[in-house]
Structure 1
């Protein structure tokens, strides 16, 4: 299906953070995509700065421009930007969907679990995690994890614009020796201390500690849990990448399967084997997470949220959202 190009009021008119709580949700399929050919537009179209383009999109990268005027989908940033450390449990405040649903961040993140256990899904592949597991997620990588009441640790968001030589692929490190455990915890403590300090050069000092952390990751990358390279895992990772770049387009699983050269049935079979969810579940999970975020963090009207996410109509979006979360979009936004 061709990507949408919006020409409406700037999203900045609606920007306003309104954090709210939300209960656990029940699964529901989202509307099937309209039968059309997915346009392979330039990949930067959905990665542009968070501003809504008021003019028709340029012809470059848009091969079906002869149709009615379309409007570009503009992704709002998922992270707050800037270097910050957040306790694992605080990430789940306002609803466990904030960590369990499939989503991505605009900046790299390192999860350092010091207690507890659960499962984490990265790139369509699910693994278990436990105490003293360090999991590095590159910017834009789709993931989600269980955060139970006994899960403790720290999430380090690296911020954007830093050239630290960080890994380009996810890393899952199971740190069993006490010395590297203490090294990592010590680096994170130093970073937090510099962030909190008002001493001269504290920001520069924090960046130097980030460099040390990058070296720590490099030194331990050889011990990372190797990602399986069989056909099922390769296909799941590729689907996850396509989904993260195109989930706003309105395309359904059949369209992604066509791009991957497989049948929807086979794609679903692969996803169930690699992460225990169907291909449709992953797509809908990503969509509803973004819908919740837009409803809570902006003042976009419900109809505009529906349009941004590629739903065929606001009515269908409302039904889909309510079936998945137990509330209508308006009720979710107003809930305390």
Structure 2
């Protein structure tokens, strides 16, 4: 049982839990998250938009937002998950910020260090201290959104459509809806939707949908003992055989082989 379930700080070295796909595969969490990257570089996709990240980037991901990012052993940072602290006034939309000011970089690092000390110290008043530190983190984020460089380059209209599509996929990927169904929900053609996804994240609309489904399949195969046929059905595949073909096409392994190896 976690002593302080309201917040978690996880170093990037632990995010993969021995398997890089846990960080790189498309997924979402039920709580908002702040990624503070201190070293390394790669690419991250949040809400259907892919951007490069580097040292001293702060990336805020709202709850239930589809995302995934490249991460190697050369990337260092901290993932902060706000699970149950009220009145933090965190943003409703994703933000990817490049923090250039050294003093501001030190400020967020010191705030996270303070939270970590309270989490591990078990001192009187730790829960109250964590709440106050978290409030200061939210203030820091608000201020940086107002003044820091946002690395987004895609047009606003494209980002809105990609984010809308990603949100619909996150809600409905377990069903059997096709890209055409999602496009109709968004009031655009499948061709236009795919063109926008290619523009914002370098993937087709079908790729994003397939990656999200396979990501969940990997999680279920690795973390549960649910039969493969039940996983296939739960994710909207027409048959276990079709699920096996789709999984192999994305991962190079059958679901059975993946479960044995992970």
Q: TM-score, normalised by structure 2?
A: 0.92
Q: Unmatched 5+ residue regions in structure 1?
A: 1-80
Distance 1:284 1:317 in 2: 11
Moved more, 273-282 or 258-267: 258-267
Displacement of 1:82 in angstroms is 4.4
Select the structure of larger CA radius of gyration: 1
C-alpha RMSD over aligned residues: 1.6
| Conserved? CA contact 1:115–1:131, under 8 Å | yes
| Conserved? CA contact 1:89–1:147, under 8 Å | no
Q: Deviations over 1:147-204 (max 9, x none)?
A: 1232111111111353311111111121111111111000100111111112122222
Distance 1:109 1:160 in 2: 12
Distance 2:85 2:230 in 1: 31
Distance 1:147 1:135 in 2: 14
1:204 aligns with 2:128: yes
Matched residue, 1:185: 109
SS at match of 1:248: coil
Q: Unmatched 5+ residue regions in structure 2?
A: none
Matched residue, 1:89: 13
Matched residue, 1:254: 180
Alignment of 1:96-115 (within 5 A): 96-115=20-39
Q: Deviations over 1:222-248 (max 9, x none)?
A: 124175554322211111111111111
- Larger helix share, 1 or 2: 2
Matched residue, 1:131: 55
Alignment of 1:75-86 (within 5 A): 82-86=6-10
* Aligned equivalent of 1:327, options 243, 253, 259: 253
- Structure 1 segments of 4 or more deviating over 6 A? none
- Residue correspondences, number: 256
**Greater relative contact order (Cα 8 A, min sep 6): structure 1 or 2?**
1
* Aligned equivalent of 1:280, options 197, 206, 218: 206
